Amino acid sequence: MSDRENGQTTQPRATMQDVARAAGVSLKSVSRVINAEPHVSQKLLDKVQAAIHELRYVPDTAARSLAGQRHFMLGVLLDNPSPHYTMRLVAGAYEACRQHRYTLQFDNIYAAEGPGHQAERIEQILHSSRLDGMILTPPTSDVPELLDSLERKGLPYVRIAPGQDTERSARVTVDDRDAVRQVADYFWERGHRRFGLVRGLWSHPSSRIRRDAFVERLRSHSPDVSIIEADGDYTFEGGLRAGEELLSARRPATAVFASNDDGAAGVMTAAMRLGLKVPHDVSVIGFDDSWVAKSVWPSLTTVRQPLEEMGHAAAQMLISRALGGHHGTFANRHFEHRFIERGTVRTIA
C-alpha cells in the first residue's frame, strides 16, 4: 500500500490533557468547554479556547463514546431504489452529522422480504451498533414493525415524509398535496382540459397521495374534467407503457402528470414514438427533479423536494436530542416543494 507508517513528520495529536495543561486548568474544565456545559466562567472559557486553538485540538470521538453515553453515530434506514433520491437525502443528513462530528451509518432494509424479515434485520442492526438515533427514509418510514422495534429498544428516531400515522413520532414532512395542486393549476391555467395521470407504485403511500391530490384539484376546477389514469410503477418502462396508453386513447390527454421523473421520461418517449412532439402536442410534468429531468429534451418541468434540507433537519433533530433536548414532545419540521419550470409544458391558445 502507499505510505510510511513511521510518522516521521507526524507529531502526536494533542489530547484534552494537553489542552488542560496549556490552559492551566483541570481536565474536566476543558471537557466542559468542549461540551458547552453551563457554569463556565468567561475567563476560563477564553483560556481554554485559546489553548484548543493553539494546539489544534480535536476531541477523540472513540474516547468520548466510551466514557459517556453519546456515541456520535446516527443510522439511516434505506430502501429506496432511486440512487438520486437516496443520495440527496443522505447528503443532507451527512452534512448535519459532519458539523457535529457525528458519523452516519447506512442500513439497507429490504422491504421486499416482508415485515418479518425487516423486524429481524433491524433488531440485528440495533444490537450490533451503538447509535444515538435513527433516520427512517421512505418507504421505511411507514413500516409499523420497524417503529415498534425502535421504540422497544428506546432508540430515538425521526421519520422522513411519513405517509400514515404521522403523529406517532418525530418527523420531517413535505406536502406533496400542495405541490401536486400547483402542477394541476399550472396545467389548468395554460388551457389544458384533457389530462393524463401516470400513477406510481401502490406500495408507496406517496403514490396515492399524489394521485388523489391531482384528481381532486382538477375536479375542483371542473367536476367532469377528463382524466385518464394508468399505472407507471415509478419506472421509465412503466411510464412508457402508461404514456402509450394515455396518448393513444380516443381523446388523448394534452397534459400528462407523471408521479415521478422516470415515469415522465417514459411518457415523453412514448409521445415521440407516437409521433407527438413535446410540448407542442403533449405537455408533461414530472416529480422529483431527478437526474433524468435534465437528460431529456426539452428538459422536464417538474417539482423538486428539498431532500438535502430534509435529511439535514432529520439528523439535526436527533443530534440535538442526544445532546439532551426535548423529551416528550414530538418535533416536526415541515418543508415546501419547489416548482421547477422548464420546457415541457405548452400554453394552449
- Grid cell, residue 20, equals 488542560
Name the binder of 17 from a second copy, DNA, none, CB < 5-8 A by kind: DNA
295 binds, among a second copy, DNA, none (CB under 5 to 8 A by kind): a second copy
| Shortest distance, position 213 Cβ to a second copy, whole Å | 25
Q: In what order do the strands lie in the sheet with 73-78?
A: 103-108, 73-78, 133-136, 157-160, 170-174, 332-335
Q: How many other β-carbons are positioned within 10 Å of the β-carbon of residue 106?
A: 13
* Residue 194 engages a second copy in binding (rule: CB under 8 A): no
What is the closest distance, in whole angstroms, from the C-beta atom of residue 221 to a second copy in the complex? 32
Q: What residues contact residue 7 under an 8 Å CB cut-off, 6+ apart?
A: none
The answer to whether the CB of 188 falls within 8 A of the CB of 227 is: no
- Residue type, position 159, single letter: R
- Return the bridge partners of 53, or none: none
Residue 32 binds to a second copy (criterion: CB under 8 A):
no
Listing DSSP states for 177-230 in one string gives HHHHHHHHHHHHHTT--EEEEEE--TTSHHHHHHHHHHHHHHHHH-TT-EEEEE
CA distance linking residue 169 with residue 157, whole number of Å: 8
Smallest distance, DNA to C-beta of residue 31, A: 3
Instruction: Kindly tell me which of 154 and 223 has the beta carbon lying closer to DNA.
Output: 154
CB of 50 to DNA, least distance (A): 14
**222/78 Cα distance (integer angstroms):** 40
Q: Using CB under 8 A, which residues numbered 294 to 323 contact a second copy?
A: 294-297, 317-318, 321
The residues that touch DNA, with contacts defined as CB under 7 A, are: 12-13, 15-17, 25-29, 31-32, 34-35, 38-41, 43-44, 59-60, 63-64, 66-70
CB of 150 to DNA, least distance (A): 22
- Is 152 near a second copy (CB under 8 A)? yes
Closest approach, Cβ 223 to a second copy, in A, equals 36
Name the binder of 84 from DNA, a second copy, none, CB < 5-8 A by kind: a second copy
Beta strands in the chain (DSSP E): 73-78, 103-108, 133-136, 157-160, 170-174, 194-199, 226-231, 255-258, 283-285, 302-304, 332-335, 338-340
Amino acid at 158: V
Q: How far is the CB of 328 from a second copy (least distance, A)?
A: 9
Question: Least CB distance from residue 214 to a second copy, whole Å?
Answer: 22
Cα torsion angle, 251, 257, 263, 268, sign: positive
Looking at beta carbons only, is 57 or 186 nearer to DNA? 57
Q: Which of residues 94-133 bind a second copy (CB under 8 A)?
A: 94, 101, 103, 105-106, 127-128, 130, 133
The site map against a second copy for 33-72 (x = CB under 8 A) is -----------------------x-x-xxxx-xx----x-
Binders of a second copy among residues 215 to 254 (CB under 8 A) are 236-237, 240
| Contact positions with a second copy (CB under 8 A) in 320-339 | 321, 326-327, 330-331
Q: For residues 321 and 192, give the distance between their C-alpha atoms in angstroms, rounded to a whole number.
A: 49
**β-pairing, 157-160 with 255-258?**
unpaired
Q: Which residues pair with 104 in a beta bridge?
A: 74
33/158 with CB nearer a second copy: 158
